[in-house]
Structure 1
Amino acid sequence: MFRRNPRNQCLPECWLFTDEKRGGDPCAAIRRLPRGSGVIFRHYADPRREPLARRCARIARQKGHVFLVAGDEKLARRVGADGTHMPGFARMARPFTAAAHNRTELIRAERAGARLVFLSPVFATQSHPDGRAMGRTGFGRLARTAKVRVAALGGVTPHRYRSLKQWGAAGWGAISALS
């Protein structure tokens, strides 16, 4: 059983995506987030993934954040996470959030039951240096057809998020802008 049921609570607007290659110390970044933010713990290749996830989950609880583990429901349960995040490469039953890079993945995330889908990359980003950014208009086209709330990811900053609200953004996520 997950620590609490985030499906019954308000969704944070601001989400930190942890990253072992970029972003520095995830524990420090979680402490700096505004109270009530969201954290998506990735660190897929970290050999100390579980102990690090436990520390991050504890700090997130102390700060009132929603804490999700990406791609691993068993780990999410072991560390007392609020739920899971379905990366674009994974298939999961009932993720709380999911990633999508196009219409097909957006539909897959909706069908899986995600409450919030992160569309990316909206802008040029270090995470996908060769990826084609969809821009505000492309984001808006996909967000407005979605049957689920959509958040912006990829090169998003607080200022850019404010400009994306008119295009249907219900939140935003970042690595560098929040690390």
Structure 2
Amino acid sequence: MNQRLLATDGPAQLLRVGRALRQAAGNPVAANGGALPPLILVTDAARVPDPLPAAGRLPEGSAVLLRHYGWPQRQALAEALAKLCRTRGVLLLIGADADLAREVGADGLHLREAMLDAPPPRRPGIVTAAVHSAAAVAKAAAIGADAVLAAPVFETTSHPGRVPLGIAGLRAIVQAGRLPVFALGGVSALNAETLLGSGAAGIAAVGALAD
């Protein structure tokens, strides 16, 4: 497939690969019995201030992870996303705020790596966690996370100075624990197929789903 076609068909390509990864990983489910998504749109306030259009293009069964940490209108954005996701059949995860997740009726909570020393006070549906190392995966498993987002797998404009994990590093994180792992960071239609065989259970992306 040529690069021009991939550029216009990027989200569909990520979905195809995400579904293949999920199937190869055994179609993992969360503790509440719900299926984990093959594809997660991760919001980024600096790159995509308004994630609603991108969320509205996601296929049914995908997920949105609202970060937008410190965003003045985060409550309103969470409410708008919750309404949109319900009508689209898309899961909504709220980053680092269990109270907000409950208030808007989100499907789950996403924990920053710095939050992995203790479980959330009450389990708000699906729980995912950010990890950058195998040691963090162990912490996430210990507090009952359903899955982790490992980053950055490839070079990314969000963190230009950070050394990427690469496929080998991603595979090491997958093998470090029993939690499903989503590949995040620099994933695009051009490199998504290189994730096949890594053991990852799905794809998480910012620009590739929003640009």
Tell me the TM-score normalized by structure 2. 0.78
The residue that corresponds to 2:185 in the other structure is 154
**Count of aligned pairs between the two proteins:** 175
Write out per-residue CA displacement over residues 49-107 of structure 1, whole angstroms, 9 at most, x where no aligned residue: 10110001110111111101000000100111011001123244256111100112111
Instruction: Kindly state the Cα deviation for residue 40 of structure 1 after the two structures are TM-superposed.
Output: 0.6
1:19 aligns with 2:44: yes
Q: Which amino acid aligns with 1:101?
A: H
Sequence identity, in percent? 39
In terms of Rg, which structure is larger?
2
Q: Work out which of the residue numbers 56, 63, 68 in structure 2 matches 1:43.
A: 68
- The aligned residue for residue 15 of structure 2 is none
Corresponding residue number in structure 2 for 1:167: 198
Residue 141 (structure 1) shift: 1.6
Deviation per CA, 1:10-32, whole angstroms, max 9, x where unpaired? 11110001111112421111001
The match for 2:155 among 100, 106, 124 is 124
The alpha carbon displacement at 1:6 in A equals 7.5
2:91 matched to 1:60? no
Residues in 2 aligned to 1:107 and 1:159: alpha-carbon distance in whole angstroms: 31
After superposition, the CA RMSD in angstroms is: 1.6
Equivalent AA in structure 1 for residue 164 of structure 2: A
Which has the bigger relative contact order, CA under 8 A and spacing at least 6? 2
1:106 has 2:137 as partner: yes
Match of 2:56 among 21, 31, 46: 31
